[in-house]
Every structure is written in C-alpha cells, then in structure tokens.
Chains A and B, each alone.
Chain A
Amino acid sequence: MRKLLKTMTMLSMLISFLAVFGVGFAEEYTSGEEVKKEEKAKKEGKEAVKLEDVIVTATKENEEVVLKPSSTIINVEEFKMPGTPQNVMDVLKTRAIIDFRGGSDLYIERDPIYMRGFSGKRFIIALDGLAIQNTHHGSDDVDYNLIPFPQIESIEIIPGPHSPLYPGKSIGGVINMKTKGLKRYETVKPDFKVTTSYRSYNTQNHSIDINGGIDSFVYGLLYQKYQTHGYLRNHESDLDIVTGRAGYILPSDGYIYLNASYSDSDYEESVINDPSRSDYDSRYPDTPKVWRSYEPWQKPSMNKKDDSYRLAYKQPTPVGLWTLGAYYHHQHHTGKKWDYIDKNDKDLGIERISSRDEKWREYGGRLQDEIQLFEDHLITVGFDMDKLYRNLMLASWDRLESRGTYQKVIGMYGIYIQDRWKALPRLTLIPGLRYENAEIFWRNWSERSQTYKNPLVRKDFIEKDYNQVVPKFFLTYELDDLSDVLRETSISAGVSKIWTPISYCII
C-alpha cells in the first residue's frame, strides 16, 4: 500500500525575468486648460508649483493580459480573440503553458488540458481562490463547460508550486478564475449584455447577462444556451446554464454574496466511422475502430445535471482582512446506449439501456485572514477543506446492496501561512508553510472476484490518512528604477517542496 502513497519531493527552481514593454511611453504635454490655469495663477500673484517626475508603476486596468512576477492575468472582458469563446478553455488555449488535448474544440467531453506538462491531477483549477475538484470517473476532471463563462472577470495563471494558499496537487500551478466583483450601481437600471453567435456545424452560443443593484444590494442573472452538431459522428451536444447571485456590500467595504447555478447538458459520444465498413457515413471524419468501441447503431448519449452554490464573504477588520468562501456541488451523470438484449442471442434484438448512473457530491470552503504587520509584512493565514462523495448506481465493482448510497472517497484539509515581506524597497520575500491532511478511501471489495483485496480488513473501503508539512519560498527583485529599459522588470526565484497523495483507485 506504501506504493499507493504518492509522496513527491521536488526542488523547483524558477528564475523569472519578466520584461513587459509598455510601448505607449508617457509623453510630456500641457493642455489648454492647464495653460489657462497657469496664466490665472500668475495674474493672482501665485506661482505655479512644478512637481517632480512621477513614475506610475501600477498596471493598466484595461490591459488584455497583465504579466506579473508570479502570474499571468487575462482580463476576460478585454481579451480579444477570433471566435466567440464558449468557456474558459477557449481563452486558456491561447497560452503556451496550457496543452490542449481534448477531443473537440466544439464541446469539451473530457479533462482536456495539461498545465506545464502535468495532467489535471497535478494542477489546481480554482474559482475565486477555492479549488474545484469535481472528480469524475477516477480522474480529477473539471467540466469546463459548466463554469459560467460570461461571469468570469479574469483568469490568473500561476505557474509552479510556490503558493501555500492552494492544495498540494498544485504541482504544475494554479488556474484561478475570478468572477465579476460586486460594485455599487449609480441607477436602478441594470446592465444588460446579450450575445448570440452561429458557427459551422450548427454551433450556436447565446447568452443574456443581467447585473444591477439598489443601494448596497446587488444582483445578477445569467442564462447561457450552447449547442452544436459536433465534428465527429454522433457528437451532438446541448447545454443550458442558469446562474443567479445576490449580494450585499457592507458599510466596511466588505461584502457577502450567494451564487447559485444549475446546468443541464446533453451530449453524445462519438462512434466508429470506418470507411471500410458498410455503415460508413462520408459526412463525418474517419474514426476507425481502434479509437472508439461504440458501434454507430448504439448511439451512446450522456446527460449531466449540476447544481452548485457558492458563498463569499469579505470583512475588513482591525485584525486584518477576513475572507470566507464555501461551496456545495452536486452532479447527476447518466448515460444511455442501444445494446443487445442478449449478447449470446443477438436475434432477440436490441434495447435502449442505461450505461451510466453516477451521482457526485462535493463541498468545501476556505477561511483566510490577511494581516499587515510592521508595515513591511503582509501575513496570510488560512484553513481550507474539501470533501467528495460518490454514488455509483450501476458500478459492477460495488456490492448490489451498497449501490445507490453515497460513499466518501476523498477528504482534505489544509492549514497555511504566508509572509509577503518587503525586505528591501526592491526585494520581496514570500516564504510559506502548508500542512495538508488527505483521507482517501481505498476500495477493498472486488465484486468481480467476490473477495476482499486485503482479507484481514473486512470492509468494502479502507480509509488511510496522509499528511505532510510543505515549505514554499518565492522572491522577487524589482529592477524598475534602475534604468528606463528595465521599467516593469523584475527577477524572481522560487524553491518549494511538493507533496500530494494521488487517489487513483478511488472508484
């Protein structure tokens, strides 16, 4: 069993040299209004005060992509791309660090990307800082179709494992999607955005996004409809997402809001389309049998129904900026296909049967405080946790009597601390520590062989705990004021240990 424990140690060296050329150089100019003011001041006997040169180091808010020493931020609203992005994946694919390997860019059917060469088990997808796990059929798949894209304000790509604020599986890094923040509205009239698009293969994407507020109360409503005939044979899909949120901006400039989302997606799985066979359909690309086992007549189709709820709370206090995030997600995943009534007697004909019936339930949260100490130290401390349950109605590896019940498969909690220390005007050190505990429930019962894998433990699942303290370190040395050509330039280095238990055989 020791081999099942995925213990990793890593020395990761990252030396970043970030050079962003803001070609729009500042120009000296004096407006007509300023000339008039100077003349007026002279007449009044006042002498105009000339200020020293001021260097603005803040990044432009409306930049499409902002490069920082430890991350790249894509401002989704500003980001221009050919085509109409249907989901965050369409934006992520524009970065070379993301290796898109999914089966179709018309509808994402399975976990489609690698980050820094690592699969979805070894990097983190987070929404507003909260990691999304969404384990699906033994893989840590994230269904990118179901993340309401019009609500995403920015996508932060953090390469490497140097942040203690995220779970240990962030070996390749973190992709953190930030939803649109709460803001006060000047009038009661809400903002509407309506988008409609049509693409080859009858691909349609329609959405309506409404955001508004009255005084400190804010609300939002989003509906998105997506459908496509797909490129491969038997690959149609149809997706509906409804998301609503309501929040309150606190007098302290903090906020609290609740986001609820429901989605319903139907999609088909592609089938054999072999030119050497009589059932070949020339309207679709070839997909010989070695690549796909489903026969065309089986018409396999899937359905997912997801409902999720997210709570976000931010409260500035004299003892720091407190944030609380919590979520609950439930998915019901079903599938159907045509199959023989009796494979040994095909003359009996075929019937439409259920090929998949799974339910997944996940909840988690994070409590965090950011405290400014002694002017130069920004301390971040926090606690996060996640629990995942699965309910496999048809799994032939479960006992008949235990099918249809929820089984806990993974539980995780972590405690972390990070110090952002401005040691020198140009030098920022970010040491951190993370303690993480993972409980994994390993399957012990084999329905096929009707035996326990470990006969000494007569339980269908065996719980095992794994934990570790993991140090992280990152530093940035800014070169901004050394020379004009080094504007917005810095050098960074990171050395961190990585550790994660990977639960491969959980279902």
Chain B
Amino acid sequence: MGFFHYEIKDFVVGRNWRKYGGTPPIYGNSKMNLEEVHKEGLEVELNGNIFDDLSFYVSYAYHDWESKGPEPQGKELGDRARNRVTAGVRYNLFEDTLFILDYKFQDKQISHVNKEEPPNSGNWVCYDYAMAEHNVFDFGIEQILFKDQGLIKDAVLKLYVNNLFDEEYEDDEGFPMTDRTYGAALSFRF
C-alpha cells in the first residue's frame, strides 16, 4: 500500500486554444505551462491464497490532481478518473483445470481531446468527452491436456470470454471499446 504526493512547477499540458482562446498553433500541438500542480494518491496491491487451490489479487489506485495556478485550463486535470480497481480470482477445480476470472473498474471521467487530425492537416479536432464508469469481466478456463508424453512436455488448452457481460464503454477519445469476444488457445512445450 503506498501513498504519494507530488508538487510540480511548470507542468506542461496541451493547449486547448479553441476553448480557452489564443492563436492556433503554427504546426503541431501547442503546449502551455500550468504554474503549479499537486497530485495525491493511494495505491494498494494485495495478493494471496484463500485456500491452496484458490488465489486472488486486488489492485486499487486513487488519483487526485489539482492545479494551484491561475490557468483556467488547469481545472481539467481534475477530470481524470479518480478510482481504478483490478482484481482476479484463480481456482484450481481439479489438479489440471484452472478457472480464471478478472475484473476491471474505471471511474467516470471527462476526456479533453485536442488534436490535429490527420497530423499537419490544419484540421483541429477539439471536444470534451464525458465517459461513464465501466466494469469489465473476463473469464477463462485453462486445461492441461497431458504431460510428458513422448517429446511433448505438456499441452495446454485455454478457452475464454473477454468482456463477459458485454459492457459498453469507450476509450479516452470516445471510440467504442471491443465488445464481448470469445477465444481459444492451444500451446505445446517440447
């Protein structure tokens, strides 16, 4: 578990000239300094076994940004996701059969997009995009098919479903993230 505190002078961010005024950049993405930025947070990592055949991990992060300077754009720093959780459970149902369940949570946030697209086109795409919180589950089963047969040391089959409950969520530019997907994997060691 870790607590942290940063104090940063002249924190550089992308300048949103459409929203906060100023001249368009001559080339590339123009930047500005935020006079002083503070950042605090907490991070927790916990791993362990509940039983011999049941293990888990939990990972948590809390982040809080604050711009102490006079720049109005500095307030946007605080719009980033504050809470994030990842967790997982592994359960050996049988000696060669492993159930795997992973979970991810990300807090709501507002993404501030400010980019020239395509690069060097003069076409500036600037918008604020509010992203809801999201919860994503992934599930898989790993089965050792056999061990030490002939030249083969082991053969492992894995079946999985990512985004198990088909959560609809987006990346920080508003693009839809991948929906529920199914997969299978086979590996051999010789």
User: With a CB–CB cut-off of 8 A, which chain A residues contact B12?
Assistant: 6, 502, 504
A466 at the interface (CB under 8 A from B): no
Contact B50 A23 (CB under 8 A): yes
Q: Chain B interface: which of A37-45, A47-55, A99-107, A322-330?
A: A99-107
User: With a CB–CB cut-off of 8 A, which chain A residues contact B27?
Assistant: 397, 443, 446, 448
User: With a CB–CB cut-off of 8 A, which chain A residues contact B185?
Assistant: 83-84, 195-198, 205
What number of A-B contacts does a CB cutoff of 8 Å give? 241
Q: A16-B2, A194-B187 are in contact. Are A94 and B88 (CB under 8 A)?
A: yes
B57 at the interface (CB under 8 A from A): yes
In the assembled complex, the CB of B130 is this many whole angstroms from the nearest CB of chain A, namely 14
How far is A188 from B81 in the complex, measured between Cα atoms in Å? 53
Minimal Cβ-Cβ distance residue in B for A394: B120
User: With a CB–CB cut-off of 8 A, which chain A residues contact B1?
Assistant: 16-19
Q: How many A residues, CB 8 Å from partner?
A: 90
In the assembled complex, the CB of B18 is this many whole angstroms from the nearest CB of chain A, namely 13
Q: A7-B9, A14-B4, A16-B1 are in contact. Are A101 and B41 (CB under 8 A)?
A: no
B8 at the interface (CB under 8 A from A): yes
Q: Secondary structure at chain A's binding surface: helix, strand, loop or mixed?
A: loop
In the assembled complex, the CB of A441 is this many whole angstroms from the nearest CB of chain B, namely 14
Q: Chain B interface: which of A288-296, A311-319, A432-440?
A: A288-296
Q: A117-B41, A198-B183, A270-B175 are in contact. Are A191 and B189 (CB under 8 A)?
A: yes
Q: Identify which of B50, B63, B123, B178 contacts A231 (C-beta below 8 A).
A: B178
Contact with A along B96-112 (1 / 0, CB 8 A): 00101110101000000
Q: A103-B171, A191-B189 are in contact. Are A14 and B7 (CB under 8 A)?
A: no
User: With a CB–CB cut-off of 8 A, which chain A residues contact B59?
Assistant: 94-97
User: With a CB–CB cut-off of 8 A, which chain A residues contact B180?
Assistant: 200
Q: How large, as a class, is the contact surface on chain B? A: 35 or more
How far is A291 from B60 in the complex, measured between Cα atoms in Å? 31
User: With a CB–CB cut-off of 8 A, which chain B residues contact A101?
Assistant: 171-172
Minimal Cβ-Cβ distance residue in A for B122: A448
Contact A198 B118 (CB under 8 A): no
In the assembled complex, the CB of B30 is this many whole angstroms from the nearest CB of chain A, namely 8
A192 at the interface (CB under 8 A from B): yes
How far is A452 from B98 in the complex, measured between Cα atoms in Å? 64
B68 at the interface (CB under 8 A from A): no
Q: A21-B48, A293-B123 are in contact. Are A200 and B6 (CB under 8 A)?
A: no
User: With a CB–CB cut-off of 8 A, which chain A residues contact B190?
Assistant: 191-194
Contact B90 A80 (CB under 8 A): yes
Contact A203 B181 (CB under 8 A): yes
User: With a CB–CB cut-off of 8 A, which chain A residues contact B41?
Assistant: 116-117
Contact A20 B47 (CB under 8 A): yes
Q: Which of A1-48 contact B (CB under 8 A)?
A: 3, 5-24
B29 at the interface (CB under 8 A from A): yes
Contact with B along A478-505 (1 / 0, CB 8 A): 0000000000000010000010001011
Q: Identify which of B5, B86, B177 contacts A104 (C-beta below 8 A).
A: B177
How far is A24 from B139 in the complex, measured between Cα atoms in Å? 25
Q: Which of B166-190 contact A (CB under 8 A)?
A: 171-190
Q: Identify which of A83, A105, A194 contacts B140 (C-beta below 8 A).
A: A83
Contact A20 B48 (CB under 8 A): yes
How far is A396 from B27 in the complex, measured between Cα atoms in Å? 10
In the assembled complex, the CB of B84 is this many whole angstroms from the nearest CB of chain A, namely 4
How far is A446 from B59 in the complex, measured between Cα atoms in Å? 48
User: With a CB–CB cut-off of 8 A, which chain A residues contact B186?
Assistant: 195-197
Q: Which of A63-86 contact B (CB under 8 A)?
A: 63-65, 67, 72, 80-84
How far is A293 from B121 in the complex, measured between Cα atoms in Å? 10
User: With a CB–CB cut-off of 8 A, which chain A residues contact B148?
Assistant: none
Q: Which of A381-421 contact B (CB under 8 A)?
A: 395-397
Q: Identify which of B86, B90, B117 contacts A293 (C-beta below 8 A).
A: B117
How far is A3 from B39 in the complex, measured between Cα atoms in Å? 21
Contact B179 A231 (CB under 8 A): yes
How far is A203 from B179 in the complex, measured between Cα atoms in Å? 14
In the assembled complex, the CB of B103 is this many whole angstroms from the nearest CB of chain A, namely 10
How far is A22 from B47 in the complex, measured between Cα atoms in Å? 8
In the assembled complex, the CB of B22 is this many whole angstroms from the nearest CB of chain A, namely 14
Q: Which of B1-51 contact A (CB under 8 A)?
A: 1-12, 26-31, 33, 39, 41, 43-51
Contact with B along A99-137 (1 / 0, CB 8 A): 101111110000000001100000000000000000001
Contact A159 B4 (CB under 8 A): yes
User: With a CB–CB cut-off of 8 A, which chain B residues contact A67?
Assistant: 45, 47
User: With a CB–CB cut-off of 8 A, which chain A residues contact B138?
Assistant: 81-83
Contact B98 A80 (CB under 8 A): yes
A275 at the interface (CB under 8 A from B): no
How far is A159 from B45 in the complex, measured between Cα atoms in Å? 12
User: With a CB–CB cut-off of 8 A, which chain A residues contact B11?
Assistant: 8
A151 at the interface (CB under 8 A from B): no
Contact A199 B171 (CB under 8 A): no
User: With a CB–CB cut-off of 8 A, which chain A residues contact B46?
Assistant: 19
In the assembled complex, the CB of A3 is this many whole angstroms from the nearest CB of chain B, namely 6
User: With a CB–CB cut-off of 8 A, which chain A residues contact B26?
Assistant: 446, 448-449, 453
Minimal Cβ-Cβ distance residue in A for B32: A3
How far is A64 from B190 in the complex, measured between Cα atoms in Å? 23
In the assembled complex, the CB of B50 is this many whole angstroms from the nearest CB of chain A, namely 7
Minimal Cβ-Cβ distance residue in B for A110: B173
Residues of chain B whose beta carbon lies under 8 Å from any beta carbon of chain A: 1-12, 26-31, 33, 39, 41, 43-52, 55, 57, 59-61, 63, 65, 80-81, 84-86, 88, 90, 98, 100-102, 104, 106, 117-121, 123, 125, 127, 138-140, 142, 158, 160-162, 171-190
Q: A94-B86, A293-B125 are in contact. List 16 more A-B contacts (CB 8 A).
A: A82-B138, A82-B140, A94-B104, A99-B81, A116-B61, A117-B39, A137-B119, A138-B28, A160-B4, A171-B6, A193-B187, A197-B186, A203-B183, A293-B121, A443-B27, A446-B26
Jot down 13 A-B pairs with beta carbons below 8 A, ordered by A.
Answer: A10-B7, A13-B3, A23-B48, A82-B100, A83-B160, A83-B162, A103-B175, A137-B119, A194-B187, A195-B185, A196-B187, A231-B178, A285-B179
